[in-house]
Protein backbone atom coordinates (compact mmCIF):
# COMPACT_ATOMS: atom_id res chain seq x y z
CA UNK A 1 0.00 0.00 0.00
CA UNK A 2 1.43 3.38 -0.98
CA UNK A 3 -1.03 6.04 0.16
CA UNK A 4 0.59 8.07 2.94
CA UNK A 5 0.67 11.79 2.07
CA UNK A 6 1.05 14.41 4.77
CA UNK A 7 -2.71 14.78 5.31
CA UNK A 8 -3.37 11.06 5.89
CA UNK A 9 -3.00 10.41 9.63
CA UNK A 10 -5.93 8.50 11.15
CA UNK A 11 -5.94 8.16 14.93
CA UNK A 12 -6.49 4.98 16.92
CA UNK A 13 -9.46 5.57 19.22
CA UNK A 14 -8.44 2.64 21.40
CA UNK A 15 -4.96 4.10 21.87
CA UNK A 16 -6.48 7.44 22.86
CA UNK A 17 -8.85 5.74 25.31
CA UNK A 18 -5.91 3.95 26.91
CA UNK A 19 -4.13 7.28 27.18
CA UNK A 20 -7.03 8.96 28.97
CA UNK A 21 -7.57 5.94 31.21
CA UNK A 22 -3.98 6.26 32.44
CA UNK A 23 -4.18 10.03 32.77
CA UNK A 24 -7.72 11.49 32.89
CA UNK A 25 -6.31 15.01 32.50
CA UNK A 26 -5.35 14.02 28.97
CA UNK A 27 -9.00 14.47 27.92
CA UNK A 28 -8.59 18.20 27.59
CA UNK A 29 -5.32 17.76 25.72
CA UNK A 30 -6.94 15.42 23.17
CA UNK A 31 -9.53 18.02 22.30
CA UNK A 32 -6.94 20.77 22.01
CA UNK A 33 -4.85 18.52 19.75
CA UNK A 34 -7.89 17.90 17.54
CA UNK A 35 -8.61 21.60 17.24
CA UNK A 36 -4.96 22.29 16.47
CA UNK A 37 -4.97 19.64 13.75
CA UNK A 38 -8.11 21.17 12.23
CA UNK A 39 -6.50 24.62 12.34
CA UNK A 40 -3.33 23.23 10.78
CA UNK A 41 -4.73 21.46 7.74
CA UNK A 42 -8.40 22.20 7.14
CA UNK A 43 -7.70 25.12 4.86
CA UNK A 44 -6.34 22.43 2.51
CA UNK A 45 -8.61 19.45 3.25
CA UNK A 46 -11.79 21.52 3.75
CA UNK A 47 -13.60 18.86 5.76
CA UNK A 48 -15.23 21.16 8.33
CA UNK A 49 -18.15 23.58 8.10
CA UNK A 50 -18.05 24.75 11.72
CA UNK A 51 -15.55 24.25 14.53
CA UNK A 52 -16.19 24.37 18.27
CA UNK A 53 -14.55 27.16 20.23
CA UNK A 54 -11.51 26.21 22.25
CA UNK A 55 -13.24 27.26 25.46
CA UNK A 56 -16.45 25.30 24.85
CA UNK A 57 -14.68 22.15 23.68
CA UNK A 58 -12.25 22.19 26.58
CA UNK A 59 -15.01 22.70 29.14
CA UNK A 60 -17.01 19.84 27.62
CA UNK A 61 -13.95 17.58 27.68
CA UNK A 62 -13.14 18.28 31.31
CA UNK A 63 -16.75 17.62 32.33
CA UNK A 64 -17.11 14.47 30.20
CA UNK A 65 -17.83 11.09 31.71
CA UNK A 66 -18.68 7.76 30.13
CA UNK A 67 -17.11 5.25 27.74
CA UNK A 68 -16.05 7.94 25.23
CA UNK A 69 -14.95 10.43 27.88
CA UNK A 70 -13.02 13.25 26.24
CA UNK A 71 -12.72 11.72 22.76
CA UNK A 72 -13.17 14.24 19.94
CA UNK A 73 -15.86 13.47 17.37
CA UNK A 74 -16.90 15.26 14.18
CA UNK A 75 -20.55 15.27 13.10
CA UNK A 76 -21.89 15.52 9.56
CA UNK A 77 -23.70 18.78 8.91
CA UNK A 78 -26.92 16.93 8.19
CA UNK A 79 -27.53 16.47 11.95
CA UNK A 80 -28.86 19.24 14.17
CA UNK A 81 -26.48 20.60 16.79
CA UNK A 82 -27.51 23.17 19.38
CA UNK A 83 -23.98 24.53 19.83
CA UNK A 84 -22.95 24.71 16.17
CA UNK A 85 -24.55 26.07 13.00
CA UNK A 86 -26.31 23.42 10.90
CA UNK A 87 -26.84 24.20 7.21
CA UNK A 88 -27.47 20.72 5.70
CA UNK A 89 -25.00 21.57 2.94
CA UNK A 90 -27.35 24.18 1.48
CA UNK A 91 -27.27 27.99 1.22
CA UNK A 92 -30.97 27.91 2.09
CA UNK A 93 -29.99 27.22 5.70
CA UNK A 94 -26.91 29.41 5.94
CA UNK A 95 -26.46 30.46 9.56
CA UNK A 96 -29.25 28.16 10.80
CA UNK A 97 -28.89 27.45 14.53
CA UNK A 98 -31.06 24.59 15.83
CA UNK A 99 -32.42 24.79 19.36
CA UNK A 100 -31.77 21.11 20.03
CA UNK A 101 -29.34 18.31 19.20
CA UNK A 102 -30.13 15.38 16.96
CA UNK A 103 -30.65 12.17 18.90
CA UNK A 104 -27.30 10.74 17.76
CA UNK A 105 -25.52 13.87 19.01
CA UNK A 106 -27.23 13.52 22.37
CA UNK A 107 -26.06 9.89 22.54
CA UNK A 108 -22.51 10.99 21.80
CA UNK A 109 -22.58 13.62 24.53
CA UNK A 110 -24.15 11.27 27.06
CA UNK A 111 -21.27 8.88 26.36
CA UNK A 112 -18.69 11.59 27.00
CA UNK A 113 -17.66 12.40 23.43
CA UNK A 114 -16.80 16.01 22.62
CA UNK A 115 -18.13 17.42 19.35
CA UNK A 116 -15.25 19.42 17.90
CA UNK A 117 -16.96 20.39 14.67
CA UNK A 118 -19.42 19.82 11.86
CA UNK A 119 -18.30 18.17 8.64
CA UNK A 120 -19.04 18.95 5.02
CA UNK A 121 -21.97 17.14 3.43
CA UNK A 122 -23.32 17.10 -0.07
CA UNK A 123 -26.42 19.27 -0.31
CA UNK A 124 -29.13 17.57 1.80
CA UNK A 125 -26.93 14.43 1.66
CA UNK A 126 -27.62 13.85 -2.05
CA UNK A 127 -24.82 13.58 -4.63
CA UNK A 128 -23.76 17.13 -5.47
CA UNK A 129 -19.95 17.46 -5.31
CA UNK A 130 -18.42 19.07 -2.25
CA UNK A 131 -15.29 21.13 -1.64
CA UNK A 132 -13.66 18.47 0.54
CA UNK A 133 -10.36 17.06 -0.68
CA UNK A 134 -9.21 13.52 -0.13
CA UNK A 135 -6.47 13.38 2.54
CA UNK A 136 -4.88 10.45 0.68
CA UNK A 137 -4.60 12.54 -2.49
CA UNK A 138 -5.81 16.18 -2.37
CA UNK A 139 -6.34 16.09 -6.13
CA UNK A 140 -9.25 13.68 -5.68
CA UNK A 141 -12.70 13.74 -4.16
CA UNK A 142 -13.30 12.36 -0.67
CA UNK A 143 -16.59 10.93 -1.94
CA UNK A 144 -20.04 11.81 -0.72
CA UNK A 145 -22.29 12.61 0.74
CA UNK A 146 -20.34 12.14 4.00
CA UNK A 147 -17.19 13.57 2.45
CA UNK A 148 -16.17 15.70 5.41
CA UNK A 149 -16.68 12.95 7.97
CA UNK A 150 -14.51 10.44 6.10
CA UNK A 151 -11.84 13.05 5.41
CA UNK A 152 -11.79 14.29 9.01
CA UNK A 153 -11.03 10.79 10.30
CA UNK A 154 -8.49 10.05 7.57
CA UNK A 155 -6.67 13.31 8.29
CA UNK A 156 -6.59 12.79 12.05
CA UNK A 157 -8.87 15.68 12.95
CA UNK A 158 -10.90 13.33 15.15
CA UNK A 159 -10.75 9.59 15.89
CA UNK A 160 -14.50 9.27 15.28
CA UNK A 161 -16.98 10.89 12.93
CA UNK A 162 -20.69 10.50 12.27
CA UNK A 163 -22.13 10.43 8.77
CA UNK A 164 -25.17 9.01 7.03
CA UNK A 165 -26.10 6.73 4.15
CA UNK A 166 -29.17 6.76 1.91
CA UNK A 167 -27.44 5.21 -1.10
CA UNK A 168 -23.70 4.81 -0.52
CA UNK A 169 -22.78 7.87 1.51
CA UNK A 170 -20.81 6.12 4.27
CA UNK A 171 -19.19 3.10 2.63
CA UNK A 172 -18.01 4.90 -0.51
CA UNK A 173 -16.25 7.86 1.21
CA UNK A 174 -14.66 5.45 3.69
CA UNK A 175 -13.34 3.43 0.75
CA UNK A 176 -11.97 6.50 -1.01
CA UNK A 177 -10.32 7.88 2.14
CA UNK A 178 -8.82 4.64 3.47
CA UNK A 179 -10.72 4.41 6.77
CA UNK A 180 -13.31 2.10 8.30
CA UNK A 181 -16.95 2.95 7.66
CA UNK A 182 -19.93 1.20 9.24
CA UNK A 183 -23.50 1.41 8.02
CA UNK A 184 -25.50 -0.47 10.65
CA UNK A 185 -28.81 -2.21 10.17
CA UNK A 186 -31.33 0.47 9.34
CA UNK A 187 -33.06 1.67 12.49
CA UNK A 188 -30.32 0.60 14.89
CA UNK A 189 -29.20 4.19 15.44
CA UNK A 190 -31.75 7.03 15.64
CA UNK A 191 -32.24 9.49 12.78
CA UNK A 192 -34.34 11.96 14.81
CA UNK A 193 -32.88 15.41 14.19
CA UNK A 194 -31.27 14.37 10.91
CA UNK A 195 -32.47 16.21 7.82
CA UNK A 196 -34.58 13.61 6.04
CA UNK A 197 -34.02 12.69 2.40
CA UNK A 198 -35.69 9.28 2.25
CA UNK A 199 -37.26 7.90 5.40
CA UNK A 200 -37.12 4.33 4.10
CA UNK A 201 -33.35 4.44 3.58
CA UNK A 202 -31.72 7.17 5.71
CA UNK A 203 -29.23 5.47 8.05
CA UNK A 204 -26.70 6.86 10.52
CA UNK A 205 -23.15 5.92 9.53
CA UNK A 206 -19.95 5.83 11.57
CA UNK A 207 -16.27 6.38 10.70
CA UNK A 208 -13.05 5.46 12.49
CA UNK A 209 -9.49 4.50 11.64
CA UNK A 210 -10.17 0.77 11.75
CA UNK A 211 -12.88 -1.83 12.23
CA UNK A 212 -12.18 -2.40 15.94
CA UNK A 213 -12.61 1.30 16.65
CA UNK A 214 -15.80 1.72 14.63
CA UNK A 215 -17.31 -1.39 16.25
CA UNK A 216 -16.62 0.03 19.70
CA UNK A 217 -18.29 3.31 18.79
CA UNK A 218 -21.30 1.43 17.43
CA UNK A 219 -21.55 -0.55 20.66
CA UNK A 220 -21.47 2.57 22.82
CA UNK A 221 -24.10 4.39 20.77
CA UNK A 222 -26.45 1.44 20.24
CA UNK A 223 -26.17 -0.26 23.64
CA UNK A 224 -25.72 -3.56 21.79
CA UNK A 225 -22.75 -5.96 22.12
CA UNK A 226 -20.98 -4.99 18.90
CA UNK A 227 -17.35 -4.65 19.99
CA UNK A 228 -15.07 -7.01 18.08
CA UNK A 229 -14.57 -10.25 19.99
CA UNK A 230 -12.84 -12.36 17.37
CA UNK A 231 -14.38 -15.23 15.46
CA UNK A 232 -14.97 -18.47 17.32
CA UNK A 233 -14.30 -20.14 13.98
CA UNK A 234 -13.01 -18.71 10.69
CA UNK A 235 -15.79 -17.02 8.72
CA UNK A 236 -17.14 -18.11 5.37
CA UNK A 237 -17.50 -15.30 2.82
CA UNK A 238 -19.76 -15.33 -0.20
CA UNK A 239 -18.29 -13.56 -3.22
CA UNK A 240 -20.70 -12.70 -6.07
CA UNK A 241 -19.98 -14.24 -9.45
CA UNK A 242 -21.32 -11.13 -11.17
CA UNK A 243 -23.00 -7.82 -10.35
CA UNK A 244 -26.30 -6.64 -11.81
CA UNK A 245 -25.49 -2.94 -11.41
CA UNK A 246 -22.01 -2.45 -12.86
CA UNK A 247 -18.85 -4.48 -12.98
CA UNK A 248 -15.95 -3.37 -10.79
CA UNK A 249 -12.90 -1.86 -12.44
CA UNK A 250 -9.74 -3.90 -12.87
CA UNK A 251 -8.43 -2.01 -9.85
CA UNK A 252 -11.35 -3.00 -7.64
CA UNK A 253 -11.30 -6.58 -8.90
CA UNK A 254 -7.61 -6.88 -8.08
CA UNK A 255 -8.21 -5.48 -4.59
CA UNK A 256 -11.00 -7.97 -4.00
CA UNK A 257 -8.82 -10.84 -5.21
CA UNK A 258 -6.07 -9.71 -2.84
CA UNK A 259 -8.54 -9.66 0.05
CA UNK A 260 -9.76 -13.15 -0.88
CA UNK A 261 -6.19 -14.50 -0.86
CA UNK A 262 -5.61 -12.87 2.52
CA UNK A 263 -8.80 -14.37 3.95
CA UNK A 264 -7.90 -17.85 2.74
CA UNK A 265 -4.36 -17.55 4.03
CA UNK A 266 -5.76 -16.58 7.44
CA UNK A 267 -7.95 -19.70 7.52
CA UNK A 268 -11.21 -18.20 6.26
CA UNK A 269 -13.19 -19.71 3.44
CA UNK A 270 -14.65 -18.18 0.29
CA UNK A 271 -17.44 -19.53 -1.86
CA UNK A 272 -19.15 -18.09 -4.95
CA UNK A 273 -22.72 -16.79 -4.75
CA UNK A 274 -25.08 -15.88 -7.56
CA UNK A 275 -27.42 -12.89 -7.56
CA UNK A 276 -30.85 -13.81 -8.89
CA UNK A 277 -33.02 -11.49 -10.96
CA UNK A 278 -34.68 -9.94 -7.91
CA UNK A 279 -31.40 -8.24 -7.04
CA UNK A 280 -31.54 -6.51 -10.42
CA UNK A 281 -35.09 -5.33 -9.72
CA UNK A 282 -33.89 -3.51 -6.62
CA UNK A 283 -31.87 -0.99 -8.61
CA UNK A 284 -34.99 0.65 -10.03
CA UNK A 285 -36.90 0.12 -6.78
CA UNK A 286 -34.32 2.12 -4.82
CA UNK A 287 -34.51 5.00 -7.29
CA UNK A 288 -38.33 5.02 -7.25
CA UNK A 289 -38.67 4.91 -3.46
CA UNK A 290 -35.93 7.47 -2.88
CA UNK A 291 -37.38 9.81 -5.50
CA UNK A 292 -40.94 9.64 -4.18
CA UNK A 293 -39.84 10.26 -0.60
CA UNK A 294 -37.31 13.01 -1.40
CA UNK A 295 -39.98 14.89 -3.38
CA UNK A 296 -42.00 15.08 -0.17
CA UNK A 297 -39.15 15.43 2.33
CA UNK A 298 -37.67 18.40 0.43
CA UNK A 299 -41.00 19.83 -0.68
CA UNK A 300 -40.58 23.08 1.23
CA UNK A 301 -37.12 23.68 -0.21
CA UNK A 302 -38.27 22.93 -3.76
CA UNK A 303 -41.47 24.97 -3.56
CA UNK A 304 -40.04 27.99 -1.74
CA UNK A 305 -36.30 28.06 -2.47
CA UNK A 306 -35.72 26.16 -5.69
CA UNK A 307 -33.42 28.84 -7.13
CA UNK A 308 -31.00 28.06 -4.31
CA UNK A 309 -30.86 24.35 -5.10
CA UNK A 310 -27.91 23.01 -7.08
CA UNK A 311 -28.71 22.12 -10.69
CA UNK A 312 -28.12 18.44 -9.86
CA UNK A 313 -30.60 18.33 -6.98
CA UNK A 314 -33.12 20.53 -8.79
CA UNK A 315 -33.10 18.18 -11.78
CA UNK A 316 -33.46 15.14 -9.51
CA UNK A 317 -36.45 16.61 -7.68
CA UNK A 318 -38.08 17.70 -10.92
CA UNK A 319 -37.88 14.10 -12.14
CA UNK A 320 -38.99 12.83 -8.75
CA UNK A 321 -42.19 14.85 -8.99
CA UNK A 322 -43.34 12.43 -11.71
CA UNK A 323 -43.22 9.33 -9.48
CA UNK A 324 -46.80 8.54 -8.54
CA UNK A 325 -48.26 6.56 -5.66
CA UNK A 326 -48.79 3.47 -7.81
CA UNK A 327 -45.12 3.31 -8.82
CA UNK A 328 -44.05 3.92 -5.23
CA UNK A 329 -46.35 1.22 -3.89
CA UNK A 330 -45.08 -1.24 -6.48
CA UNK A 331 -41.45 -0.46 -5.60
CA UNK A 332 -42.17 -0.90 -1.90
CA UNK A 333 -43.72 -4.29 -2.66
CA UNK A 334 -40.59 -5.24 -4.61
CA UNK A 335 -38.49 -4.23 -1.62
CA UNK A 336 -40.64 -6.27 0.77
CA UNK A 337 -40.39 -9.37 -1.41
CA UNK A 338 -36.62 -8.99 -1.64
CA UNK A 339 -36.27 -8.69 2.12
CA UNK A 340 -38.28 -11.91 2.39
CA UNK A 341 -35.74 -13.68 0.16
CA UNK A 342 -32.64 -12.13 1.70
CA UNK A 343 -31.91 -15.24 3.74
CA UNK A 344 -31.16 -17.10 0.50
CA UNK A 345 -28.05 -14.98 -0.04
CA UNK A 346 -26.65 -15.84 3.38
CA UNK A 347 -27.38 -19.55 3.33
CA UNK A 348 -24.20 -21.25 4.53
CA UNK A 349 -22.09 -18.08 4.72
CA UNK A 350 -21.11 -15.62 7.42
CA UNK A 351 -21.15 -12.52 5.25
CA UNK A 352 -20.82 -11.30 1.67
CA UNK A 353 -17.57 -9.78 0.42
CA UNK A 354 -17.59 -7.25 -2.45
CA UNK A 355 -15.74 -4.11 -3.52
CA UNK A 356 -16.86 -1.03 -1.60
CA UNK A 357 -16.76 1.11 -4.73
CA UNK A 358 -16.18 0.53 -8.45
CA UNK A 359 -12.69 2.05 -8.33
CA UNK A 360 -10.36 4.47 -6.58
CA UNK A 361 -11.67 7.96 -5.89
CA UNK A 362 -12.18 9.93 -9.11
CA UNK A 363 -9.73 12.71 -9.92
CA UNK A 364 -10.91 16.22 -9.19
CA UNK A 365 -13.94 17.41 -7.26
CA UNK A 366 -16.58 17.23 -10.00
CA UNK A 367 -18.05 13.91 -8.83
CA UNK A 368 -18.49 12.13 -5.51
CA UNK A 369 -18.27 8.73 -7.22
CA UNK A 370 -20.69 5.94 -8.01
CA UNK A 371 -22.73 4.32 -5.17
CA UNK A 372 -23.67 1.31 -7.31
CA UNK A 373 -22.08 -1.22 -4.95
CA UNK A 374 -23.97 0.16 -1.95
CA UNK A 375 -27.56 1.05 -2.91
CA UNK A 376 -29.10 -2.41 -2.80
CA UNK A 377 -27.72 -3.12 0.66
CA UNK A 378 -29.09 0.19 1.92
CA UNK A 379 -32.51 -0.72 0.53
CA UNK A 380 -32.32 -4.15 2.18
CA UNK A 381 -31.27 -2.62 5.50
CA UNK A 382 -28.13 -4.78 5.75
CA UNK A 383 -25.18 -3.88 7.97
CA UNK A 384 -22.14 -3.04 5.85
CA UNK A 385 -18.51 -2.34 6.76
CA UNK A 386 -15.81 -0.81 4.61
CA UNK A 387 -12.54 -2.55 5.41
CA UNK A 388 -9.52 -0.37 4.62
CA UNK A 389 -5.96 -1.44 3.95
CA UNK A 390 -5.66 -1.94 0.19
CA UNK A 391 -5.00 0.38 -2.73
CA UNK A 392 -5.41 0.49 -6.47
CA UNK A 393 -2.86 0.69 -9.25
CA UNK A 394 -2.45 4.45 -8.87
CA UNK A 395 -1.87 4.23 -5.13
CA UNK A 396 -5.19 5.47 -3.77
CA UNK A 397 -7.36 3.42 -1.39
CA UNK A 398 -10.07 0.99 -2.43
CA UNK A 399 -11.90 -0.79 0.36
CA UNK A 400 -13.65 -4.12 0.44
CA UNK A 401 -17.19 -4.28 1.74
CA UNK A 402 -18.40 -6.88 4.24
CA UNK A 403 -22.20 -7.25 4.22
CA UNK A 404 -24.25 -9.06 6.85
CA UNK A 405 -27.81 -10.07 7.54
CA UNK A 406 -30.04 -7.36 9.05
CA UNK A 407 -29.65 -7.25 12.84
CA UNK A 408 -26.59 -9.49 12.66
CA UNK A 409 -24.30 -6.48 13.02
CA UNK A 410 -21.99 -8.06 15.59
CA UNK A 411 -21.23 -10.99 13.30
CA UNK A 412 -20.73 -8.62 10.37
CA UNK A 413 -18.26 -6.47 12.33
CA UNK A 414 -16.39 -9.55 13.55
CA UNK A 415 -16.11 -10.80 9.97
CA UNK A 416 -14.87 -7.39 8.84
CA UNK A 417 -12.23 -7.39 11.58
CA UNK A 418 -11.10 -10.82 10.36
CA UNK A 419 -10.66 -9.43 6.84
CA UNK A 420 -8.82 -6.36 8.13
CA UNK A 421 -6.38 -8.48 10.15
CA UNK A 422 -5.88 -10.87 7.24
CA UNK A 423 -5.04 -7.97 4.92
CA UNK A 424 -2.62 -6.50 7.47
CA UNK A 425 -0.79 -9.81 7.57
CA UNK A 426 0.00 -9.85 3.84
CA UNK A 427 0.28 -6.17 2.86
CA UNK A 428 3.74 -4.71 3.58
CA UNK A 429 3.88 -1.16 4.82
CA UNK A 430 0.26 -0.88 5.85
CA UNK A 431 -0.03 2.41 7.79
CA UNK A 432 -1.13 1.99 11.36
CA UNK A 433 -3.41 4.52 13.01
CA UNK A 434 -1.38 7.08 14.93
CA UNK A 435 -1.81 7.26 18.68
Cα–Cα distance, 121 to 50 (Å, whole number)? 12
Whether 145 is catalytic? yes
Task: Spell 199-230 as b/e; 16+ CB within 10 A means b.
Answer: ebbbbbbbbbbbbbbbbbbbbbbbeeebbbee
Q: Given 169, 198, 200, 391, which residue is catalytic?
A: 169
Whether 122 is catalytic? no
Q: What is the DSSP letter of 93?
A: G
Residues in the chain: 435
Q: What is the largest CA-CA distance in the chain?
A: 61
Among 387, 372, 380, residue whose Cα is nearest residue 346:
380
Q: Do strands 48-51 and 114-119 pair parallel, antiparallel, or not at all (unpaired)?
A: antiparallel
User: Cβ(94)–Cβ(23) under 8 Å?
Assistant: no
Whether 222 is catalytic? no
Cα 401-402-405 angle, rounded to 5 deg? 135
Cα–Cα distance, 319 to 250 (Å, whole number)? 33
Q: Given 145, 200, 222, 356, which residue is catalytic?
A: 145
Cα–Cα distance, 287 to 274 (Å, whole number)? 23
- Give the catalytic positions in this structure: 76, 145, 169
Amino acid sequence: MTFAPSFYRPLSAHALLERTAREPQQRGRLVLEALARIDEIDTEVRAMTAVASRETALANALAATGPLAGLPVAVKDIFDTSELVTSYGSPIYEGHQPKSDAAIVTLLKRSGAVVVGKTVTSEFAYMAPTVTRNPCDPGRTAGGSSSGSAAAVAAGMAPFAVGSQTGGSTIRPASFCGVAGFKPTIGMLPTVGMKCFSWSFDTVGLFAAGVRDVAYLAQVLSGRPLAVKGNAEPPVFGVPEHYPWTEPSANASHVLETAIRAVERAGGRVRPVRFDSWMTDLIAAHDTIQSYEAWQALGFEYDRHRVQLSPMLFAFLARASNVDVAAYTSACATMARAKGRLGELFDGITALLTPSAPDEAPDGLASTGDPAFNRNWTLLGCPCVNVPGLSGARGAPIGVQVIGRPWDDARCLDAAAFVEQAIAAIVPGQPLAAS
